Structure 1
Amino acid sequence: MEPTKELLFAYFAGQATSVQQKVIGEWLTRPTSRELYFQWLDEWERSFPQYAPDVARHFDQFRHRLDAPVAESSPLIRPAPVEPSPPLRGSVRWLVAASVALALLVGGWFFREPLLYKTVTTGAYQLRAIQLPDGSTVALNSNSSLQLPRLGYGWFSRQVALTGDAVFDVRHLSTHQPFIVQATDGLAVEVLGTEFSVRSRARQAEVVLKRGKVNLHYATKNRPAQHLLMKPGDRVELDGKGRLRLQGQTDTTRFGNWRYRLFSFNQTPLREVVRQIRYVFGVEVQLADPALARRKLTGTIRAGSSDELAEALAELLDLRVSHRDQNIIFLKPTDNPIPQ
């Protein structure tokens, strides 16, 4: 059974039943269905856009007010006559022009980021598919943002900045212009045409290469520059101490599974699973017993909500799930229930 567009729209809005979610999950196992999935996801998100302030328009209005200030109303009390001063028209005009120029410079400085760059963001458990001006595509995970220049992209450079998780499918240009992803401070991912994923967080990052070649450049003020050439199947981590760690021959069948709401684990400690739940769904998760953090999990789970994923994890690890103050708490079967 193939799901209809209306069913997918209900799924994106979080209104699909468990049976409907199972139908969509089986449909997504076919590679030919994924392109249509992202087309409908993009169409749904365009129908329910996020609020984005039009900074450029408001700045133009501000500049217009400086150029044509509103005339002041006549005072109720007539001022006493004073002796006329020598004409200072030229000086006054110069002062007004200087004031306007200063205001424009100050306003341009404070608003330079939104004027020069476009930023695409996603909220909690929101996916977004983006097509860049050069034909490259980006799948953006929840709680992530991608920044790209408003002018000159594809002409002067193809450099974007990422915070969060994304999968890139980069188009090779006849000019051989490289594509650069600026991740966490000091780490740049440079490619000519390839498919790879980047996870960028504070002082930590992860790059997984599915096809093509990638050059990693990492340089900070406190350590010498590091360069690393990746090949398909490589996975590189940047740890909190600024070290690049290469792991070859990784399982790329799970590459970017979060795009399909699949959560894959391979001997993953429960503390890392908890961190993913917090990041993707924006909810707080607690372990009643700190020893549970060392429990490990292997497998793939499809989940449409934090509660659905928590229940599946509890079943696999023989745990119980409790809720208190909108927090998810994992307990051992022998633990006393936590008051709601």
Structure 2
Amino acid sequence: MDYSQYKAIDFVKDESFQEWCMYPEGKQAQFWTSWTRENPHQQAEIRKAKQLIAALGESHADVSDSKIDQLWDAIRAGTRETPVASLPKSRKSILVRWSRIAAMWIGVVTALSLGIYWISNQATTVTFATAYGEVKSIALPDGSRVVINGNSSLSYREKDFNADTRIVNLVGEAFFSVSHTPDHKRFVVQTGEDMDVEVLGTKFTMTSRPMKKQVVLEEGRVKVSDSIYLNPGELVAWDADASGWREEQVQDPGRYGSFKENKLIFRKTPLQEVARVLEDTYGYRITFVNPALAGKHFTGSCAADDIPLLLRSIEKAFGIAVEENDRHIAIGKTH
């Protein structure tokens, strides 16, 4: 990592630097002690970063750059002084000097307190995101758990979990295990695309992709888009051709969220849908050499991180060639 051009805010966001500030004698000590000695031009930025981390405490990881800038401005305002001429070393001048030092530190403490108070009262948004092929499991403030599939993100405002309705925003795909609260708080998953899901306590898999809008319920009861109620084992998906929602029963609702167990499971699934999963979740580009293959139904499973095995399974199932080159997969390629 090249830290030579880092600003204070960059250091504040760096996990190894954070650890060094919190544990000066820890495992990061040798690296940062040596690095600061070899890069004296960065001393001012490092000093500023340390002050910010001390002021922010444990909240530094979730604070935006703009809020850090505002806190630093508060620190600077509280510590700004007007130069004074040297005074004789009399008892009176010593008292005056100590009075000024005390006033300076009172200003520092006041500025830090005001800055931290301001930050803590903002509507902090927490965001979790995954790369292509990455799966991430997270715990929400209410104890609910969410497993986010590849190329997806989940965000929420901290203050919403202290309100009457818990609200999260999903882009992509995720499995939800929602905790019921003693005061029966609603839990709403928003997508910004006219597909919101309201629940109390339940387990379901939700997909919000450009070419796929779907909810599959495992346990409990949910309401989709203010009008459709699902029971366990039911699926609702947006049918673009009919411009409406399509509902159906599914035998194994858990397989739709199989990514949480590092599995890919397909049951009589059109290859077009398999291709969509590979594109949306893993970042591949899919081409059907023979367009008729897109409608063929495939049944099979593999580890979610073993795409080559999936491609070989498709080859054997249909007696065709499937080739992958530089993130492009050609299905039905002829030699």
Tell me the TM-score range normalised by the shorter chain: 0.5 to 0.7
Show the counterpart of 1:263: 264
The aligned counterpart of 2:165 is 157
Matches within 5 A, 1:171-250: 171-202=179-210, 204-218=212-226, 227-240=227-240, 242-250=243-251
Query: What is the CA deviation profile of residues 214-272 of structure 1, one whole-angstrom value per residue up to 9, with x for unaligned ones?
Result: 11225xxxxxxxx0111111111123364121112542252411222322223222121
Report the CA distance shift for 1:249/1:62 in structure 2 as closer, same or farther (over 3 A): closer
Residue 203 of structure 1 deviates from its aligned partner by 7.1
Give matches, 1:1-340, under 5 Å.
56-62=64-70, 64-65=72-73, 116-202=124-210, 204-218=212-226, 227-240=227-240, 242-331=243-332, 335-336=334-335
Distance 1:315 1:199 in 2: 29
Give the superposition deviation at 1:315: 2.0
Aligned-residue CA RMSD (Å): 3.0
User: 2: CA distance between counterparts of 1:237 and 1:161?
Assistant: 18
In structure 1, C-alpha distance between the alignment counterparts of 2:325 and 2:301, rounded to whole Å = 27
C-alpha separation between the residues in 2 aligned to 1:235 and 1:250? Answer: 10
TM-score under structure 1 normalisation?
0.61
Alpha-carbon distance change, 313 to 204 in structure 1, aligned in 2, over 3 angstroms: closer
* Alpha-carbon spacing, 1:196–1:182, altered in 2? closer, same or farther (3 Å): same
* Structure-2 separation of matches of 1:147 and 1:159: 9
Answer yes or no: is the 8 Å Cα contact 1:235–1:250 preserved in 2.
no
One-letter code aligned to 1:138:
V
Change (3 A) 1:271 1:136: same
Per-residue deviation, residues 42-67 of structure 1 (Å, max 9, x unmatched): xxxxxxxxxx9865344332575598
Q: Unpaired runs of 5+ in structure 1? A: 1-51, 72-113, 219-226
Q: Distance in 1 between matches of 2:211 and 2:270?
A: 21
Query: What is the aligned-residue identity percentage?
Result: 31
| Structure 1 residue aligned with 2:90 | none
More moved, 126-135 vs 312-321 = 312-321
Per-residue deviation, residues 74-124 of structure 1 (Å, max 9, x unmatched): xxxxxxxxxxxxxxxxxxxxxxxxxxxxxxxxxxxxxxxx96321110111
Change (3 A) 1:230 1:286: same
Q: Secondary structure at the match of 2:132?
A: coil
- The normalised TM-score by structure 2 is 0.62
The letter of the residue matching 1:179 is F
Summarize deviations over 1:17-48 as a string: whole Å, max 9, x none.
xxxxxxxxxxxxxxxxxxxxxxxxxxxxxxxx
- Residues 193 and 293 of structure 1: is their aligned pair in 2 closer, same or farther, counting only changes over 3 Å? same
Structure 2 letter corresponding to 1:148: Y
Q: Secondary structure at the match of 1:153?
A: helix
The count of residues paired between Structure 1 and Structure 2 equals 235
Secondary structure of the equivalent of 1:254? Answer: helix
Q: Which runs of 5+ in 2 are unaligned?
A: 1-59, 81-121
CA contact (8 A) 1:171 1:194 kept: yes
Please give the alpha-carbon distance, in whole angstroms, between the structure 2 residues aligned to 1:63 and 1:135: 31
**2: distance between equivalents of 1:301 and 1:211?**
25
Q: List structure 1 runs of 4+ shifted beyond 6 angstroms.
A: none
Residues 216 and 323 of structure 1, relative CA distance in 2, 3 Å threshold = closer
CA distance in 1, matches of 2:324, 2:202: 43
Greater helix fraction, Structure 1 or Structure 2: 2
Q: Distance in 2 between matches of 1:187 and 1:203?
A: 13
Whole-angstrom distance in 2 between the partners of 1:278 and 1:189: 25
**What one-letter code is carried by the residue in structure 2 that aligns with 1:144?**
S
Q: Distance in 1 between matches of 2:254 and 2:65?
A: 46
1:140 maps to amino acid? I
Work out the CA distance in 2 between the residues paired with 1:166 and 1:149. Answer: 18
Q: Could you give the per-residue CA deviations for residues 259-314 of structure 1, whole angstroms, max 9, x where no partner exists?
A: 22322223222121111111222122222222221222123333423323212221
